[in-house]
Amino acid sequence: MSDPLPAEVRAQVVAYAADTLADLDDAEVPPSLAAVRRFTPSRRARQGALPLAAAVEHDAVFRGRVAEWVRRVHPELAAAVTGPDGPPVAAPPAEVAALAFVLRPAGWEEMVAAAAGSAAQEARAARVDEAQREINRLTEALAAARRAGQLEQEQLREQLAAARSEADELRRRLRGSGEKIRRAELAAQEETAAAVAARDAAHAAARAAEAEARRLRARVSELETALANSRREGREARSIDDARLRVLLDTLMGAANGVRRELGLPSTVQRPADLYSPAGAQEFDPFSAVGGKGRPEDDPSIIDEVLGVPGVHLIIDGYNVTKRGYGTLPLHAQRVRLLSGLGPLAGRAPDAEITVVFDATAVSSRPVGVSAPRGVRVLFSQLGQLADEAIIRLVRVEPPGRPVVVVTSDREIAENIAAAGARAVASAALLARLER
């Protein structure tokens, strides 16, 4: 068939083909409809209309399966279309043409053509009805527009009459107010002349004020220049005096350092009373005021007293402190938390030396990324060496007489450093001080 199917007949054929495609096995589906088969039932007939219509028209096997589905689902109408008596008169033409296109009985092309003619007649009748309704609507609109135009014309006539009456009244008022306008013009001229005179006087006063302002600005500029010269001379005089004092101070400091080196005096200043030891008296103990008897070992004030000892070196057994205070954290987090707490302590005791020793055997390799706060030294023991050995070595390299304190709860370290002249403070005291 060379003529295209009417839209209604084509839609009915596509619907039959979509329903047939849903009932086929995978092996019976034509290759051109494999993608359409995967569509949902609601989308299959709408989005797969072109391939379904082409398959029904050109694929005889698929059209035969569609014909079988139609005979099974619509047996009475299929029998009527293929029978000798033809389809019933009351049957919808589009559905009859679709069945004829699928079943292909004798004279099926005439049935399709009849459906097309019937659809065309219905379309023409619908267009005629729509045109008649549009004509009626436009006729009613024209009549309404004429009525509205007449009403508006009458209103305009009334408004024109009122406007003419108002214009006559205004003319009479205008003639009566002409004299008033002339008198007002004369008064305005007199006021304008007075305003011009006042403006000229104001301009003259402004010029005088501007001249006085220029004179005052010049005087201010002269005073500012004199003040700047005076300040510059004062700064130069102070700079010369400061330079002379600095040279004198550097000379005195150099002489004092030369005398100290020549006499071999220690860098830590001691008083004669600190070195005095009468017969039977004990040697001077710098920790005499640290950690008195009867005080608990977690007293935070012990750390403040230690940091108050002049020239003290505070050595901290890092992991011994952190594992008692926050051992559930990873080692890196333990180090960060301890060092962040030691920063404020170091800032309050600028004369104290603070060293934190960590055990390198607790990690697989030397930790990196350790950021020590100002005034705190961070050391790691060598691989294969415990932090205990590094701490004892640090205590032993200190000169005799320097106050050294080790923060640890390890009894073995405490005994070893005590033999070297250092003192041990419990880790609990430092933890309590950091939490305060």
Q: What is the pLDDT of residues 219-271, one digit of tens each?
A: 888 888 888 888 887 777 676 676 667 667 666 766 666 565 555 544 454 44
pLDDT band at 423 (very low <50, low <70, confident <90, very high): very high
Identify the weakest region by mean pLDDT among 246-250, 341-345, 430-434: 246-250
pTM: 0.38
Neighbours of 73 (CB within 10 A): 13
Q: What is the pLDDT of residue 426?
A: 93
Gap between the terminal Cα atoms of the chain: 99
pLDDT band at 290 (very low <50, low <70, confident <90, very high): low
**What is the C-alpha to C-alpha distance for residues 237 and 43, in angstroms, rounded to an integer?**
98
Structure tokens, 435: 């939490």
Question: Would you tell me the crossing angle of helices 93-103 and 108-263 to the nearest 10 degrees?
Answer: 90
Q: What is the pLDDT of residue 272?
A: 40
Q: What is the mean pLDDT of the chain?
A: 79
Rounded alpha-carbon distances, angstroms, from residue 359 to 73, 343, 356: 88, 21, 10
- Average pLDDT over every residue of 134-139: 88
Cα Rg for the chain, rounded, in angstroms?
57
pLDDT digits (tens, 9 = 90+) for 161-220: 998 989 888 888 888 888 888 888 888 888 888 889 889 888 888 888 888 888 898 888
Q: What structural domains does the chain harbor?
A: 7-106 (no CATH), 301-435 (3.40.50)
**What is the C-alpha to C-alpha distance for residues 103 and 350, in angstroms, rounded to an integer?**
106
Q: What is the pLDDT of residue 270?
A: 47
- Average pLDDT over every residue of 133-146: 88
pLDDT band at 277 (very low <50, low <70, confident <90, very high): very low
| pLDDT of 287 over the 80 cut | no
Neighbours of 24 (CB within 10 A): 16
